[in-house]
Structures are given as structure tokens and as C-alpha cells.
Amino acid sequence: MAVMPHKNVDRALELALSMDVPFWPQLPLVSYYEDMYVQASEHFPGIVLDMDKRTLRFSMDKFMNEFEETMAHFHEPEYFDISDTYSVVYKRFLSMDLSGRPAIRGQLEGPISFGLYVVDQDDRPILFNDTIRPFMLEFMAKRANVQLNRLKKRNPNAFMYMDEPGLQFIFSAMAGYTDVAARADMEWFFSMIERPRGVHLCGNPDWDFLLGLDIDILSLDIHTNGEVFVCYAASIRDFLERGGTLVWGIVPTNFEPFEKDNIDSLQKRLEEAWRSLQESGIDLELLVSRSMLSPATCCLVNPDGDKTVEKAFEMVQNLSSMLREQYNLL
């Protein structure tokens, strides 16, 4: 949940740093370069970026013209990092002393979502292109590793999310790309990424598929999808027992649901999910010890601007403190 509605860069960074595990914010209302898909596209050959129209597309002809230049830089880590143009806070975040935090976090748009979002000259998602897709997977893996290594220099417990909202769509009828192909691609993709490696998404995919991937951290919107997620207890147990961590997105950032909830109702909702999993045979102590809390989703369109998001961040901190005390995690 790094996408934030703030137009004040300093305030956004201050809020991100207020969390136990801070992160560098993505601020698309400051600049289109801050859009999560645009950030991931930097130096990707064939990209057609129109800043005035705020569009991101792909041209096969442009890809062919730029491919040789990209390959000439393919073993240069700095080529795959995020430049000042594409993020106003990334390098500021990395310049800070973050060594005393329990961990820090980064993020990058995942290849499945990127490949579904970016379409070519024929309006076909580049994910369906058997020539482009393998290159895209390797390109994004390089980007993830470069960022993770930079974060680890600031804090040895650093980790990253691959933001993958598109994973929920691959299980629908999609010509040219199946869940079997997606599994093979994702397994290969994660095999190229250093640990710890995680996935964040706000949607509702096939949780067996996602929990079965070789990842260390899974972040999800439990506020919306909790009743469905707990039905996958066997896969959740396997994920936890092999060392996985679940990040429970429990506090809504959208104005209306936030106003309807309070810290007590959110705690009740979360603990009901935990009790359901305990009744399905998952050890509660193991579950709680491998859990983190977060806002449920990003939100850019609240009528009160950034105020609800700021309240949600504060509520996450307060709820975390209550639960740590209740479950003797202090």
C-alpha cells in the first residue's frame, strides 16, 4: 500500500515513516511518473509514454529499435533502479538512517499486472506476446533485485512487495494466457528474485494458486476478502509452516467504510478470521507470530483528500499496539 493521495511530498514521506515498517510512497497526484505502472516502465524498450494524455502504451516497432540499447545496459544495476524523474521520494528515503527499524519495505509493479495493463499498437496486452513476456519477466526481476539490494543496505530486514492486482483476472476466460502458464511464469520470475520476496494485491484471486507460490510474504485486503480467504485454511497452514508471513490489510482507507468502522469492530473482524483458521487446525500462536497489519487498500479519490488515509494509518498503529499487548508480542 505505497500509493498515497498526498500532494505534499514531505507529509507523505512523514506518514510513511510513522509506520513501524516504513516504506517510500508513490504519489501519482504529484506526477504521472509516480503512477505504479509508469514507474515500473522506466527503461523498458518499446514504451510509449504520453505525459499530457497520461497514457502508457507499447510499440513493437519501438521495442525492436530500442532492444539493442537496453541489452547493452543489461548488466548495469543502476540502469534498473528508479530515477529521480520517476520518484520524488525514493532516493530521499534511501538517504535516511533506517537501521533501527524492525524492517523497511519497497515495492514494484509485478509482471502479470504490468503485462495486462500495457497494450500494444493492436490494443493487445503485452502479457499475451510470447516474445515480449519472457523478456518482461527477466527485466522486472532485475528491477526488483536492484531495489531490494539498495533497501538492504539501509536495513538488513528489508523486503519488497510485487504489486499484482492483475492476478485476480487470470482465472477468468482469457484467450492466450492460462493459470497454468501464469504459474510457470511466476515460479520462474520468483526464482530470479532474492529473498525475502512478497506479493501484495487488493483483489480476490485463487488463493490456493497464490499461497502455493515460493514467496515469503503475502499482503491482502482482509477487510473485503476475509470471509473468502479463510476458506483456504489448508493452503494458509502450509504457507505459514514453511515460514510465510501474512500481512492483514484490515483498516479501510476509503471514506465511507472507514466512517462505518472503528478500532473495536476491526479488531473483532480480524480475530473472527483468526478464530476461523484456528478452528480449521491452524495453531493460533503460529498464525499471530507470522502476522503483520496494514491498511486494506490504497485510495486516491476520497472526498476529504488525504485525511481518511492518514486516520487509517494511525488506526493501524493503534490496533497493532492493542493486539501485541493482548497476544504478548511486546
Indicate which CATH number applies to the domain containing 171. Answer: 3.20.20.210
153, 164, 269, 181: which is closest to 217 by C-alpha? 164
Question: Which residue ranges of the chain lie beneath pLDDT 70?
Answer: 172-176
Query: For residue 45, is it within any domain?
Result: no
Query: For residue 112, is it within any domain?
Result: yes
Q: Give the total number of structural domains in the chain.
A: 1
Query: For residue 133, is it within any domain?
Result: yes
- Supply the DSSP symbol for 194: P
| Residue 290 pLDDT | 96
d(CA 33, CA 28): 7
Name the one residue in this structure whose C-alpha cell is 500495457. 118
Q: What distances in angstroms separate CA 244 from CA 109, 186, 192, 214, 297, one per listed residue?
A: 21, 17, 18, 9, 21
The radius of gyration of the chain from alpha carbons, rounded to an integer in Å, stands at: 20
Query: For residue 156, is it within any domain?
Result: yes
160, 13, 22: which is closest to 88 by C-alpha? 13
d(CA 114, CA 58): 11
d(CA 15, CA 28): 16
Grid cell for residue 285:
500462536
Query: For residue 46, is it within any domain?
Result: no
Angle between helices 263-279 and 307-326 (to 10 degrees): 50
The answer to whether residues 205 and 166 touch, using CB atoms and an 8 Å cutoff, is no
The answer to whether residues 8 and 29 touch, using CB atoms and an 8 Å cutoff, is no
How many Cα neighbours within 13 Å face the side chain of 83?
9
The answer to whether residues 163 and 110 touch, using CB atoms and an 8 Å cutoff, is yes
d(CA 316, CA 78): 35
User: Domain range holding 269?
Assistant: 9-30+93-326
| Residue 173 pLDDT | 59
293, 294, 274, 292: which is closest to 284 by C-alpha? 274
d(CA 123, CA 57): 9
Query: For residue 293, is it within any domain?
Result: yes
Query: For residue 110, is it within any domain?
Result: yes
E strand or H helix that includes residue 307:
helix 307-326
Angle between helices 179-191 and 132-154 (to 10 degrees): 40
Query: For residue 205, is it within any domain?
Result: yes
| Residue 237 pLDDT | 97
The answer to whether residues 230 and 277 touch, using CB atoms and an 8 Å cutoff, is yes
| Residue 172 pLDDT | 66
Could you tell me the pTM of the whole model? Answer: 0.94
